[in-house]
Structure 1
Amino acid sequence: MSRRYFGTDGIRGRVNQGAMTAEMAMKVGMAAGAHFRRGDHKHVAVIGKDTRLSGYLMEPALVAGFASVGMDVILVGPVPTPAIGMLTRSMRADLGVMISASHNLFPDNGIKLFGPDGFKLSDADEAAIEGLIEEAPVLADAEHTGRVRRVEDARGRYIHAAKSTFPDRLRLDGLRIVVDCANGAAYQVAPQALWELGADIVPLGVSPNGLNINDGVGSTSPALLQETVVASGADIGIALDGDADRLIVVDEHGQVVDGDQLMALIATSLNRRGLLRGGGLVATVMSNLGLERVLASEGIGLERTKVGDRHVLERMRTGGFNVGGEQSGHIILADHATTGDGLIAALQILAELVEADRPASALLKRFDPVPQRLKSVRFTAAQPLEDQRVKAAIADAEASLAGGRLVIRPSGTEPVIRVMAEADDAARVDAAVEQVCAAVVAA
């Protein structure tokens, strides 16, 4: 089913264009409020945001939408996306909203919605809200419009919840940790939580000005973190993105450790303690073949989904898995959170580091990645993947990889085909990608 506004992670776009305007935010508030007005109780929405300048634009527009249909609003200010899942559930709210465009730069913003269970909305809920956006709203009577309240201790509540996932018997005393908060939503909570656990903190990306979120800092720009870890003699570096739902780690030598390696460490540790549920972990088609192999060596299964943390979470919930995520650093730990949580994932990694009493470089590299290459190619044909020449090129490329993998993904937003190949022979990987891309261009 085609959706007009919702993408793979809520509604997102450039501010004051398309779907990311104050008018649309108010309509989303009206529609979501109407959809979640169920029963006779007083209905409540929790709204958080990251540090983008446009948060000042989107937040009051959403408040107006919710209040106009009779829903009260709790404002919690800048907090990580996973905090909204936690707060929605703990405050017994009817829905939660996070105003963020995640790892995008400041000109973009987005609206992520959470249900009363603290999980992101299902396709059915999003479709229902889209339908209501197109309809004339049913406004509340004057005496029944919503009230608005700001809660000042939301960050403290989240810090407490995150710290509770760290083993009581452990502390971070003696560890020097560089923490890069991307000038985003975790700029206060992440350094504070780590400091309270005893770490010596070197902060980066903790001076948001509304315009610098994800700009040269954070999980998608780790160069400064790498440099700072080495220069400061730190034991480890952690990088979050703008809304702190993803994590990338840097070892003491400044080497980046991606989500695949982190998931391997967490899954194998839980499995050895008999705490891994579902028989394995869930990752996407983009996770490296090396992850699959190292898990198999310990009797752990790997289930793959389409790209996107919502697909990972859906499979985790249906299959009873408690660990899943993406190579990009979205790591979902279902025992602790309802969505990807960079700080909670970092605390599990840090607990392993303390327990092992080994350098991060020795602990975090769980496998040698198989050579992998991803290339995006634009096309002009209406349906290039239906072209017989493209089909033949894909078949030949798959055969040439000799036990490797070939993943073909059409973009959902632009005329682009993404071609990923991986195999033990890097030359075969390059040749396979180029062969398929050339066929797509010629189609």
Structure 2
Amino acid sequence: MFNNLSEKLDKALHTLKGHGKITEVNVAETLKEVRRALLDADVNFKIAKEFTKTVQKKALGQDVLTTLNPGQLMVKLVKDELTELMGGDTVGINLGGSPTVILMSGLQGSGKTTFSGKLANYLKTKKSKQVLLVGCDVYRPAAINQLRVVGEQIGVEVYAEEGNQNPVEISQNAIKHAKANGKNVVIIDTAGRLAVDEEMMTEISNIHKAVSPQETLFVVDSMTGQDAVNTAKAFNDVLNFDGVVLTKLDGDTRGGAALSIKSVVDKPIKFIGTGEKMDAIDVFHPSRMADRILGMGDVVSLVERAQEQYDEEEARKLQKKIAKNQFGFDDFLNQINQIKKMGSMKDLVGMIPGAGKALKDVDIDDDAFKGIEAIIHSMTPAERSTPSMINASRKKRIAKGSGTSVQEVNQLMKQFDQMSKMMKMMQGGGGRKMMQMMKGMR
């Protein structure tokens, strides 16, 4: 996420991070590099220029040159300004109304239909809402089919009308259907085009007037940079939407859209899409994103994700097993599955301070545990519960069954043994103590 921008900003600020002498001249030179990094990330020139001008003014106003740690203060000023640039405060979704009507807008290919499903899943699982997805793309039969597949995947009803070419009528009928069937959120997926055109804008404007949504969200592909910002402006002029959704932030995103869009349309970024899975959706926090861009990680989001998967009853059972030296490979497998549920490995690594920079050239994919899982699945139930019984001949059989080598099996056994000892040492507080420590980091 924003790897290129992070790297360039880190290089620009590197000379100021030490305790050496800092002058107005090298502050100006550094901020020139910061501006260049922003422009390379496809940030609007005017915004990039204003950004560095503001940071420079604040730096000189706060006597950065004479402070004990001038470099650190400069990084903080850049971080604070990045936060403001992206909106400052976190803005949640409006769930008023009975039912709440959410209108999705955006160009074709922006990830609108997929995100409609993600939002439905988020509201269903995190907010306990009864959601209805509505297919209003009457031009592409594949769009309705895609929405149905998504709805089936997350267990959410999809409303569509075969043969009806009037999206205003469909959306109004869908709201009546929602009221009659106990649905308290209606998400309307509208038609997209390859480019902004008058017909498209008239249509979505008519839907907007007819259903009076509590939330109108503009979905944009974050990889399109400055083009995304221009499109957002065109939509906002017609719809006066409530917030922005940035999709595909897990790709090679330059960052221009995230850093420019708030300044141009003066609307908050409310959500981001961070992967292909239906749970790959995050509320957008400007301050946390600024931390990530500057390589500081995002410990708070990491802790929140861990807490979502944290089961106190399971933790108690695990504690007892560790105390009795009964921690086995089945338990290890359960821990791996808990981590996998937290999101993509690349995204999780990016949340660990310094890890993104240290592992920038390492390809981390979601199959990172594949080899380990194959080895464990090749063990018998008895071997998984009592790892000490795994001797040389058993290791050969396990390696053959998992398509790995004996060396890889030995390596896993060694790592497992080290982890078991570490968990035993932590037994004083176990998983609960660990979670309390993590909460303290918030």
TM class by shorter chain equals under 0.3
Task: Report which of the two has the higher share of strand.
Answer: 1
- Higher relative contact order (Cα pairs below 8 Å, separated by 6+ residues): 2
Q: Which has the larger radius of gyration?
A: 2
State TM-score, norm by structure 2. 0.24
TM (norm. structure 1) is 0.24
